[in-house]
């Protein structure tokens, strides 16, 4: 069980001690997709939603989600986040709204969970804002696409992580 960073040799959970690690700039980018039924996608693209500006609401929710990650994920460290940003991109041929989130800090541990939380909370907010149109909306493909900092350095998990967009 020693291969898992949050388990000791007896299998007990613990929070990893990052106190001895050097502080480095750390960036993580994650993505999520919200898939809409074809019939309502024109309203989504035109942002003609009864509840109003769902993208602005989702952006604020994603930022708040990143900031509260350590309150939601039991073994995450609270971090001094220096930047959170989210971008939205419509992909009409798939009836998708792609959400991309970036989180940045200078610290002793990474911000992957914060980036993943940001896009997840943003996607949930889009669902909440748009569900009155159709309950068949799906949230899919939540994933980390890029990270840098720490001993593993730069890790590119998708060809176009979008780091230049932030």
Give the catalytic positions in this structure. 128
Cβ neighbours for 104, distance < 8 A, ≥ 6 positions apart: 25, 26, 27, 81, 82, 83, 84, 111
Phi, psi for residue 21 in degrees, rounded to 5? -85, 145
Cβ(94)–Cβ(35) under 8 Å? yes
Alpha carbons 1 and 18: distance in angstroms, whole number:
19
């Amino acid at each position: 069980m020693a291969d898992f960073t949050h388990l000791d040799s007896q299998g007990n959970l613990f929070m990893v001690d990052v106190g001895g690690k050097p502080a480095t700039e750390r960036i993580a980018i994650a993505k999520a997709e919200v898939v809409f039924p074809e019939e309502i996608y024109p309203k989504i693209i035109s942002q003609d939603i009864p509840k109003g500006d769902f993208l602005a609401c989702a952006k604020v929710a994603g930022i708040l989600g990143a900031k509260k990650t350590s309150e939601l994920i039991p073994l995450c460290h609270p971090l001094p986040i220096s930047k959170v940003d989210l971008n939205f991109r419509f992909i009409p041929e798939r009836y998708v709204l792609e959400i991309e989130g970036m989180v940045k800090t200078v610290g002793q541990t990474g911000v992957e969970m914060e980036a993943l939380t940001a896009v997840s909370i943003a996607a949930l907010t889009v669902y909440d804002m748009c569900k009155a149109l159709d309950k068949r909306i799906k949230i899919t493909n939540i994933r980390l696409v890029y990270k840098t900092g720490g001993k593993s350095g730069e890790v590119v998990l998708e060809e176009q992580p979008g780091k230049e967009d932030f």
